[in-house]
Amino acid sequence: METSKTLIIGACGQIGSELTSKLRSLYGVDNVIASDINTKNENLVNSGPFEILDAKSYSDIKNCIEKHNIDTVYLMAAMLSATGEKYPELAWDLNTTSLFHVLNLAKEKYISKVFWPSSIAVFGPTTPKVDTPQHTVMEPTTVYGITKQVGERWCEYYSKNYGVDVRSIRYPGIISWKTLPGGGTTDYAVEIFHEAIKNKQYESFIDENTALPMMFMDDAVKATVDIMNVPEEDIKIKSSYNLAAVSFTPKQIADSIKKHIPEFEITYKPDFRQNIAITWPESIDDSVARLDWNWSHDFNIEKMTEVMLKGVASLETTV
Ligand code: NAD
């Protein structure tokens, strides 16, 4: 029998690109098919099997699954929070249509396992802000948050009613240096490292003391690989797991950078993304994920800052 394979949809993006390379190192380059609607990430496109695919097209996804004997799908294509506020209907369409297609393909037994990421954006202004629990009030006010909340409900519904094996994590803001973020509210926490290396100053679009939950990319990828590898019966939460690593404000991350670049300066000019940030939690209680599938993070602010500065500096010297 031919080996079953994995498909990543939205593989050119911030998380998809690093997830693809991790899965390829674990399962073999030819067993992990990357796909995206465009070929903008050349490194990723040239790193192994790649297909152009529109996540809004059921037949595109189904044809790719059949062509490559795909067993597991990671659906990483989405429109993120800040861009979603500019194009609410497009965000709704992409984020919900693509999830429906993948869940239906699992229901129809074309694939046997699905990963779909949710976000801290499922929470809203009425949610407890500190140590936000797994089960709590969820009244998101962004279209992105609404698509993630409705997605979580559908994941649980397909699991309970059709036996679909779908696993999900509520990612916090993801910090990485290899690929730039794609239009989220937490993008400042990546931009700040690039500007610190290039210009030794940064104007933050998030206010000085607004804390948000964040996570270094390696931890996010580890969590994604781990949750997909535990036995199905250990996955007790069929909607999406809270996941946490660090929480910081722009001032705190600037202070951490200043330990390495003392002349670095930060100024603040909050824009519309500040209005999104203040509706989200400051910190997340992820004890259920830690209990159910042994989640633990490796990167604190200091370790993350060190790796980010080195990584971004290495990009600058290779340009
Ligand atoms: P990203 O914007 O960097 O990448 C998304 C990718 O999807 C892009 O490469 C884009 O070209 C592709 N795409 C867009 N429309 C498509 C379509 N119709 N068909 C196929 N591909 C399409 O996003 P990301 O940061 O890598 O996020 C991945 C997932 O994780 C998303 O579901 C996002 O909501 C979630 N998430 C991300 C963060 C974060 O901080 N990055 C936080 C919480 C949740």
Examine residue 152 and state whether it is found in any structural domain, yes or no.
Answer: yes
Residues 69-93: pLDDT tens digits?
999 999 999 999 999 999 999 999 9
Q: Decide: 222 and 181 in contact? Cβ < 8 Å.
A: no
Catalytic positions, written as ranges: 144
Average pLDDT, the chain: 97
Closest by CA position to 306, among listed 263, 271, 257, 270: 257
Structure-token pair, residue 249: 């404000």
CA–CA dist 31, 125 (Å, integer):
43
Residues 54 and 154 in one domain: yes
Atom of ligand 1 nearest to the CA of 187: 40
Q: Is 245 close to ligand 1, i.e. is its CB under 6 Å away?
A: no
Examine residue 288 and state whether it is found in any structural domain, yes or no.
Answer: no
> Is residue 318 scored above 90 in pLDDT?
no
Q: Is 213 close to ligand 1, i.e. is its CB under 6 Å away?
A: no
Confidence at 4, pLDDT banded by 50, 70, 90? confident
Q: Which pLDDT score is estimated for 55?
A: 98
Examine residue 224 and state whether it is found in any structural domain, yes or no.
Answer: yes
The CATH number of residue 252's host domain is 3.90.25.10
Residues 121-180: pLDDT tens digits?
999 999 999 999 999 999 999 999 999 999 999 999 999 999 999 999 999 999 999 998
User: Worst-scoring range by mean pLDDT, 97-111, 152-166, 174-188, 245-259?
Assistant: 174-188
What pTM does this model have? 0.97
Residues 102 and 33 in one domain: yes
In order of 11, 72, 86, the CA distances from 44 in angstroms are 8, 19, 28
Range of the domain at 11: 5-172+217-242
In order of 31, 81, 142, 205, the CA distances from 272 in angstroms are 42, 11, 12, 8
Residues 39-60: pLDDT tens digits?
999 999 999 999 999 999 999 9
Q: Which pLDDT score is estimated for 222?
A: 98
Q: How many domains does the chain have?
A: 2
> Is residue 248 scored above 80 in pLDDT?
yes
Residues 168 and 182 in one domain: no
In order of 6, 55, 218, 303, the CA distances from 119 in angstroms are 23, 19, 17, 23
CA–CA dist 290, 248 (Å, integer):
21
> Is residue 105 scored above 70 in pLDDT?
yes
Q: Which pLDDT score is estimated for 211?
A: 98
Residues 279-298: pLDDT tens digits?
999 999 999 999 999 999 99
Ordered strands of the 169-171 beta sheet:
118-119, 169-171, 241-242
Percent of residues, the chain, with pLDDT higher than 90: 97
Mean pLDDT value of segment 297-311: 98
Angle at 168 between CA 128 and CA 120, to 5 degrees: 30
What interhelical angle do 58-68 and 88-107 show, nearest 10?
40
Residues 197 and 106 in one domain: no
Q: Is 10 close to ligand 1, i.e. is its CB under 6 Å away?
A: yes
> Is residue 276 scored above 90 in pLDDT?
yes
- Give the sign of the dihedral formed by CA 183, CA 189, CA 195, CA 201: positive
Q: Which pLDDT score is estimated for 82?
A: 94
Q: Which mutation among 19, 20, 76 tests ligand 1's pocket best, with the greatest number of atoms within 8 A of CB?
A: 76
Q: Is 54 close to ligand 1, i.e. is its CB under 6 Å away?
A: yes
Examine residue 162 and state whether it is found in any structural domain, yes or no.
Answer: yes
Q: Which pLDDT score is estimated for 237?
A: 98
Confidence at 319, pLDDT banded by 50, 70, 90? low
The CATH number of residue 71's host domain is 3.40.50.720
CA–CA dist 86, 251 (Å, integer):
27
Residues 45 and 22 in one domain: yes
CA–CA dist 108, 112 (Å, integer):
9
Q: Is 12 close to ligand 1, i.e. is its CB under 6 Å away?
A: yes
Mean pLDDT value of segment 240-248: 98
Residues 255 and 270 in one domain: yes
Atom of ligand 1 nearest to the CA of 116: 32
Q: Is 101 close to ligand 1, i.e. is its CB under 6 Å away?
A: no
Residues 187 and 162 in one domain: no
Task: Report CA(192)–ligand 1 centroid distance (Å).
Answer: 21
Q: What is the CA radius of gyration of the chain?
A: 19
In order of 182, 212, 270, the CA distances from 206 in angstroms are 17, 10, 5
Task: Report CA(174)–ligand 1 centroid distance (Å).
Answer: 12
Confidence at 317, pLDDT banded by 50, 70, 90? confident
Atom of ligand 1 nearest to the CA of 175: 40
